Copies of this chain bind each other. A is one copy, B any other.
């Protein structure tokens, strides 16, 4: 069966069935996280430029824009998708090889606002889109990403079409999928530029536009997803569809709980388990996957931004606050570096270890002749409550006090007009 038929069948069944509550709960957490990372980007340069772009030709419309105004669903998806990826602080799915919520949530939300959907329907739509994006990302495989496609955008556009279609309450998603296959694009060459977050926004916009064209009676070829994969170095691994609709692969999504490089997060978790209550370590040895050595192992740091890519600086910070947390305020307070911080950084040794996974870290703390060790794997299951607590702390670190709690209450009571107001505020 073609990818179009497979996803079409999944959509038709999942749309009418009760989706499992645990999956929907995780989407609710993703939505909270999406609000946090979007709202936290207010002062970001790319976010500001995107708002200038949006307001240059202000189009009235039903869909809310971050930080004020509204637009048609396509433009709102583009703007909100870009803004929520601007800080690179949003969720990731390692199987999909990409960021999920930053693409599917803006598409579901903007189209839902245009189609008169409830927030509960928007959440369900985002969940269907997230599962489709994740599965399609697995189907494309690692080769597609490795050669240079930004899977967040390519597989993301497929998910965005599913999300927007569900938000518009389409009975059949196949026409929309046949359309979006021809629009999906995004280059890894854009990493490090404003176009990286724009890729996420364009994926959301492409999904929305594919749906709107389908609603006007326009559709493409039934083999277009296969054609896309074939010429874009996709692996077309049909095991990607195993237990589709029964098992929700999306549930493996991971959140960033600290405003720094994802490669440092496993170390941070391991240190937060080990440091509290113990003596101050004389030496810290961090073992990590070799690929991170060129990414987040800056030996010297000049400011908070560089510290986000430095095992040494982050470990020193955690020693100083006894494993409390890493947040924006603590990172800023680290500079200018004190003599104490410098001395602590000098006591951190970072080693590459092939046997560790990319999501793992191992730390050894030496103090008073004793060794304490801890390993953390970011893939380890996390309870709903633990995730929520960490997201609340994340939000408190980057937003005004109480704002994160307010967003969570809005999501809990599924109040779309309050949510729209919170986005626009």
Residues of A that sit less than 8 Å from B by CB? 46, 49-50, 52-53, 56-57, 59-61, 72-73, 114, 147-149, 178-179, 181-195, 198-199, 202, 212-213, 215-221, 223-224, 226-228, 230-233
Contacts and interface: CB of A to CB of B under 8 A. Distances in A.
Given A53-B213, A185-B185, A219 B194 contact: yes
A121 to B, nearest CB: 20
B182 A195 contact: yes
Nearest to A54: B216
A220 B56 contact: no
Nearest to A213: B53
A218 B46 contact: yes
Contacts of A53: 212-213, 215-216, 218
A193 B218 CA distance: 8
B178 A182 contact: no
A139 B345 CA distance: 51
Contacts of A114: 57
A183 B212 contact: no
Contact of A148 (B149, B194, B198, B227): B227
Nearest to A55: B216
Contact of A220 (B61, B149, B182, B194): B194
A193 B216 contact: no
Given A187-B181, A221-B189, A72 B59 contact: yes
Nearest to A225: B189
Contacts of A218: 46, 49-50, 53, 194-195, 198
A212 B72 CA distance: 17
A129 B72 CA distance: 29
Nearest to A148: B231
A195 B212 contact: no
Nearest to A197: B218
Contact of A185 (B50, B72, B184): B184
A210 to B, nearest CB: 10
